[in-house]
Amino acid sequence: MNELELPLPRRLELHDLAVGEWLRLQRVVYLDHAGMTRDWEAASRRFRQGAVMVIARLRPSGRLVMVQQYRPPADAQVLEFPAGLIDPGEDPKATALRELKEETGYSGTLAWFSRQCLNSPGMSGEHFYTAVVEVDETLPENRNPQTDWDESENIRTFCVAPAEIPEFLRGRQDAGVLFDGKLAGYFLGMGMSW
């Protein structure tokens, strides 16, 4: 039997195992590549269907904006790019600019926007988008940025020049901070190591 004769893997059923205030645990019944019916467990959000990650570049300095915050599931401080959930009915591009402003205080313009990506496809079907935002740091609103965090957030913002990023990452790691995989992947893709 060649590859073209095999049935395509696909989901057959989805059952809630547990439902919380914000998340649900589900059993996924699917047909695998060999035509066998199998089970998988997955987590999903109840009310939001995606997120946006923002790579913000300050101009003219070229510094990149990162945030650090406590993430309860990891029980750790986590270094990541600004990010957030897409509100129901919200354009994901608007989410990117809103989240950057709320988390860091910076306002910018969208330079590039990705198609949907998956964050942790072995655990969840949640998708996210990546936005590249240019921030003119000479504008009055970006000289002394004012955040607008949610009540539960306490975010530290870091603006780091590319040449200083490896040393900065080593310092954060030495301080016990964990890194979001997308942030680490971005810098590894830029040829940086720490």
Query: What domains appear along the chain, each with residue ranges and CATH number?
Result: 3-45 (no CATH), 50-189 (3.90.79.10)
pLDDT at 6: 58
Residue 189 burial class via C-beta count within 10 angstroms: exposed 0-12, middle 13-18, buried 19 and up? exposed
On average, the pLDDT of the chain sits at 94
- Closest C-alpha to 179, from 47, 74, 79, 39: 79
The structure's pTM equals 0.90
pLDDT of residue 165: 98
37 close to 29: Cβ distance less than 8 angstroms: yes
- Per-residue pLDDT tens listing for the chain (194 residues): 565 665 689 999 999 999 999 999 999 999 999 999 999 999 999 987 799 999 999 999 999 999 999 999 999 999 999 999 999 999 999 999 999 999 999 999 999 999 999 989 999 989 999 999 999 999 999 999 999 888 888 999 999 999 999 999 999 999 999 999 999 999 999 999 99
Q: What is the DSSP string of 23-70?
A: EEEEEEEEE-TTS-EEEEEEEEESS--EEEEEEEEEETT--EEEEEEE
- DSSP 8-state symbol, 109: E
